Structure 1
Amino acid sequence: MSAPTKLGPTLKRGEKVFEYRGGRVVYEILGKEGDFIALTPGGRFSKDIEGLCPLARELVKGGYRVLLWDRPNCGKSDVQFYGQSESHMRAETLHALITGLDIGPCIIAGGSGGARDSMLTTMLYPEIVRKLVVWNIVGGVYGSFVLGSYYIIPSILAVRGAGMRGVIAVDEWQQRIAENPANRERFLSMDPDEFLKVMLRWLNAFVPKPGQTIPGVEDEMFDNIKVPTLIIRGGENDLDHPKRTSLEVHCLIKGSTLIDPPWPEDAWERAGEARAQGKVKRFNMFDTWVQAAPAILDFLAD
């Protein structure tokens, strides 16, 4: 039996809901005063992913207020499927959130997929951004193919084989339904053909193409980034967030600042090994992000 649509996520203290395009976005603001930083994690991870809050708290100690948000399809927020790519949808949502809360122009910051979301937001909506900080930028054939195969292919196979009831059986969407029971009915109310069309479009964004240093974004879009930008480059042998991609983005964003990672060069690889060996249930790479706080605060102070 489908859960009634009135059901939604259980909010913890400090969490609020922002509605946009028929979907609810769960967010919270840390800190009481100072300029705002919109902080975005990677993948489809929630704002509550281990490692993100410690970084946010350090930024608050540095005199800032931090906006943490569950992007559509992440954490407690509603699932939504529209736009040229998932990152385009997230960028549009972040723009709506910042303008709706009247906290812009603000500082935009994010790592991994959150870096792509942050850069795209700055490209599309430069008027809401004061400064940009990004790290663990995804790129390259391997990194792009992994994202497409992990986040998109399972849903395509499910909807083709069993319609939307097949989609809600996908492990990742089961997690979204557990965190927000209303998502079950949202999925079941979707037209499977339209859902498949969106998934194929989103998959295409992860197919490496000439002139696209980061997935689904034309290099010429980088010309729209004119704000001071800090890039923390990828690790030496990180296949998911290649050092080369960070260097190319540095070249594309005129006047940007590129620094070495404050965490070990092999941090992501070691986290992956620990996960594969069953030592952790999920990547712990985000645990190192707090180490970037001093460099970020120094950059923002200039």
Structure 2
Amino acid sequence: MATAGPKLRRGEKIFEVNGGNVVYEILGREGEFIALTPGGRFSKDIDGLRPLAQALVKGGYRVLLWDRPNCGKSDVQFYGQSESHMRAETLHALITGLGIGPCILAGGSGGARDSMLTTMLYPEIVRKLVVWNIVGGIYGTFVLGSYYIVPSILAVRGTGMPGVAGIGEWRERIAENPANEERILSFDRDEFLKVMLRWLNAFVSKPGQTIPGVDDEMFDNITVPTLIIRGGENDMDHPKRTSLEVSCLIKGSTLIDPPWPEDAWERASEQRAAGKVKRFNMFDTWVQAAPAILEFLGR
């Protein structure tokens, strides 16, 4: 008998993409749609994301919040050129399946990369683009690969898929969606390793790739009005330099200074390291971008 899936809250719904369930919800009753995407493998319920979504709703928009594959209550999925390519394909299917496109894409950190890649691959579903906390540089990309991919490679090589299912992060996905345990255990060991090595390769810094796993020439596909909120002055994970380079690659884009303190990311990192926060809740500052985003979208 198949294991039960996640327990949905009021307003949450399920949409199937490529054999996996994606949990999503829509905030607001009228207005243009904004697909809002957080970073990392964080869910749509990560602290700080919903206040930004609610501020955008108050500004007259409807907001799509979604748990990407491998995030929150959605099913785990392992395919594609990179994890961001998989997410882009999923977002395209979600937007077209719900009939809410073309719409506005907005996202920070990994969500910025996912939103940019979706715009590159599926420009017909995007009206405007807003991104911030863009990951780049040797350190930023190296950390992503070592944090999100390497543990799974070590586990599958050592003890197969049962070892993968025992990793802390995948245990969290199983806790939020019990069906994920069976999905992980049933995945072919050799195929999983192949996918993980391919995903890891996306996080190897290469000439001509300002953002991980995406050739710079792909930026030519982004022709919609784009707002870029640059990275903090000394933010090693989302370098100021990367934001400036992306602004050069997206012709006609608008680049603004961050509305939060220049050192917001570093201070949040220090608080987490000191045990003052249970989660890496640096997204708490994101709501401060709402006025700038609404001003840009209203032009």
Scaled by the length of structure 1, the TM-score of the pair is: 0.99
Are 1:57 and 2:54 matched, yes or no? yes
Find the counterpart in structure 2 of residue 175 from structure 1. 172
Match 1:247 to one of 212, 221, 244: 244
CA distance in 2, matches of 1:42, 1:5: 30
Find the counterpart in structure 1 of residue 298 from structure 2. 301
CA distance in 1, matches of 2:215, 2:33: 28
Alignment of 1:64-213 (within 5 A): 64-213=61-210
- Percent sequence identity is 85
Q: Is the 8 A contact 1:5 1:186 kept in 2?
A: no
Equivalenced residue count is 299
Q: Is the 8 A contact 1:47 1:75 kept in 2?
A: yes
Provide Cα deviations, 1:104-137, integer angstroms capped at 9, x if missing partner. 0000000000000000000000000000000000
Aligned with 1:160: secondary structure? helix
Q: Aligned partner of 1:112: which letter?
A: S
Provide Cα deviations, 1:6-28, integer angstroms capped at 9, x if missing partner. 41000000000000110000000
CA distance in 2, matches of 1:120, 1:271: 27
Are 1:36 and 2:36 matched, yes or no? no
Provide Cα deviations, 1:209-253, integer angstroms capped at 9, x if missing partner. 000000000000000000000000000000000000000000000
Are 1:45 and 2:42 matched, yes or no? yes
CA distance in 2, matches of 1:6, 1:235: 44
Match 1:220 to one of 214, 217, 220: 217
After the TM superposition, which segments of 4 or more aligned residues of structure 1 sit over 2 Å from their partners? none
Q: Is the 8 A contact 2:75 2:180 kept in 1?
A: yes
Q: CA RMSD, aligned part only?
A: 0.5
Cα offset, 1:5, TM superposition: 2.6
CA distance in 2, matches of 1:129, 1:150: 31
Q: Aligned partner of 2:57: which letter?
A: V
Gaps of 5+ in 2: none
Q: Is the 8 A contact 2:3 2:178 kept in 1?
A: no
CA distance in 1, matches of 2:260, 2:18: 39
Q: Is the 8 A contact 2:46 2:281 kept in 1?
A: no
Cα offset, 1:98, TM superposition: 0.1
CA distance in 1, matches of 2:294, 2:2: 42
Aligned with 2:255: secondary structure? strand
CA distance in 2, matches of 1:282, 1:107: 28
Gaps of 5+ in 1: none
Q: Is the 8 A contact 1:14 1:29 kept in 2?
A: yes
